[in-house]
């Protein structure tokens, strides 16, 4: 069934989609929750990412159940705890990027299914999650990263987190349009946020420039596009990529991670650089376990798998990257910049 979805010739090693998806399924609990790993914690961002991976593989019922878990566990202010374990809050921080990412997952599910009733069902949670993030936007456009466990706002901003919120706002506005709802406040927030991401680096005072996500996320989310996107990727390519190994998590450490490698594939596909995206995806081909899961990370050149934890969201990132390269599903272009240049096609 899965293989039949492939709509163009595969120029990269074929991924065993079924076994990778089944790895995620085996972690999913009866109520829909998808923890990081067996006995591990759950955070809302990675939970949504895992649901998207299930959707790519055709497990739509299980993906919908995962979104229902989000509805049931959302807090009154629209946020979620940063981490729970066995239903108990483990980290009571409430992060803005985690509250907003539900919009990306819900729009992804709609692109897979065309189910407007699902959008209507999820709208209150999407609305409240986005509002939680937008309400923590600074006057200069960036979005503060969190409230702590006591509800106090931490006036610090992450470039990666704000970029993720930018993508969430795009998807939330697309959902609103499909449901006939007008949200000029979100449009204004996204405009200010995009301006900060592109032109106000000093606003992001939680310095993470050593981390590869700060490199490619402004491009992946679509805040930085066109020639500037290509320039940004070129500028730091040698800093973060290690041929045949993957993408460094941190620039000064001999450690690559499979999730960051997959997200770079998504980023390259988003700007139409498919040849290089396929090259990077090839670096993943041998970095997996027999059960369909992928290594979380590996050191080089000594090939020490670290950590040994098998994570749901790493497997999901690989599936999303594979979909972006092979256009298996109607949601394969959700990060593609060209897709967002023709909004009427999204909302028809």
Q: Is the predicted pLDDT of residue 12 greater than 80, yes or no?
A: no
Cα angle, residue 203 at apex, residues 198 and 205 outer, rounded to 5°: 125
Whether pLDDT at 50 is above 80: yes
Residue 8's pLDDT is 40
Q: Give the model's confidence band at 270: pLDDT under 50 very low, under 70 low, under 90 confident, else very high.
A: very high
Peptide bond into 190 cis (omega under 30): no
Instruction: Examine the pLDDT at 348 and tell me if it is beyond 60.
Output: no
Q: Does domain 3-347 sit in CATH 1.50.10.10?
A: yes
Q: Which residue has the tokens 């931490």?
A: 154
Question: Residue 3: what pLDDT?
Answer: 41
pLDDT at position 5: 37
pLDDT in tens, 121-161: 999 999 999 999 999 999 999 999 999 999 999 999 999 99
Contacts 24+ apart (CB under 8 A), 22-25: 22/292, 23/291, 23/292, 23/293, 23/310, 23/312, 23/315, 24/50, 24/53, 24/54, 24/312, 24/315, 24/316, 25/54, 25/59, 25/62
pLDDT value for 120: 98
In which band, very low, low, confident or very high, does the pLDDT at 10 lie, cut at 50, 70 and 90?
A: very low
Domain residue ranges in the chain: 3-347
pLDDT in tens, 286-306: 999 999 999 999 999 999 999
Question: What pLDDT score does 14 carry?
Answer: 80
311-to-36, 60, 67 alpha-carbon distances in Å = 5, 20, 19
Taking only Cα atoms into account, the Rg of the chain, rounded to an integer number of angstroms, comes to: 19
Does residue 4 have a pLDDT over 60?
A: no
pLDDT grade, residue 234 (50/70/90)? Answer: very high
pLDDT at 93: 98
Which phi-psi region, left, alpha or beta, contains residue 311 (left: φ > 0; alpha: ψ -120 to 50)? beta
| Mean pLDDT (the chain, rounded) | 95
- Read off the pLDDT of each residue in 153-175 and give the average, rounded to a whole number: 98
Nearest by Cα to 320 from 258, 275, 247 = 258
pLDDT tens by residue, 69-121:
999 999 999 999 999 999 999 999 999 999 999 999 999 999 999 999 999 99
Grouping H, G, I as helix, E, B as strand and the rest as coil, residue 49 is helix
């Amino acid at each position: 069934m899965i293989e039949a979805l492939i709509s163009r010739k595969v120029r990269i090693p074929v991924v065993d989609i079924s076994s990778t998806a089944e790895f995620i399924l085996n972690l999913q609990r009866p109520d829909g929750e998808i923890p990081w790993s067996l006995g591990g914690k759950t955070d809302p961002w990675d939970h949504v990412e895992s649901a998207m991976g299930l959707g790519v593989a055709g497990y739509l019922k299980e993906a919908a159940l995962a979104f229902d878990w989000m509805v049931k566990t959302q807090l009154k202010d629209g946020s979620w705890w940063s981490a729970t374990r066995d239903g108990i809050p483990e980290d009571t921080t409430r992060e803005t990027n985690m509250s907003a990412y539900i919009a990306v997952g819900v729009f992804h599910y709609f692109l897979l299914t065309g189910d407007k009733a699902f959008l209507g069902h999820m709208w209150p949670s999407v609305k409240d999650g986005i509002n939680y993030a937008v309400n923590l936007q600074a006057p200069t456009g960036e979005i503060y990263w969190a409230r702590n466990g006591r509800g106090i706002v931490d006036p610090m901003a992450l470039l990666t987190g704000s970029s993720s919120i930018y993508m969430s706002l795009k998807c939330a506005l697309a959902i609103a349009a499909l449901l006939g709802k007008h949200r000029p406040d979100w449009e204004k927030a996204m405009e200010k946020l995009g301006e900060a991401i592109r032109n106000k680096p000093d606003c992001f005072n939680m310095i993470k420039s050593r981390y590869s996500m700060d490199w490619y996320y402004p491009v992946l989310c679509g805040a930085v596009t066109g020639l500037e996107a290509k320039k940004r990727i070129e500028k730091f390519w040698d800093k973060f990529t290690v041929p045949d190994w993957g993408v460094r998590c941190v620039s000064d450490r001999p450690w690559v991670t499979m999730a960051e490698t997959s997200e770079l594939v998504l980023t390259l596909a988003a700007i139409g650089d498919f040849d290089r995206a396929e090259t990077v995806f090839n670096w993943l081909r041998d970095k997996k376990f027999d059960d369909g899961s992928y290594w979380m990370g590996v050191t080089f050149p000594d090939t020490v798998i670290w950590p040994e934890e098998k994570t749901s969201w790493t497997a999901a990132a690989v599936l999303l990257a594979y979909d972006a390269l092979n256009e298996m599903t109607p949601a394969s272009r959700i990060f593609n910049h060209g897709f967002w240049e023709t909004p009427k096609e999204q909302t028809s």
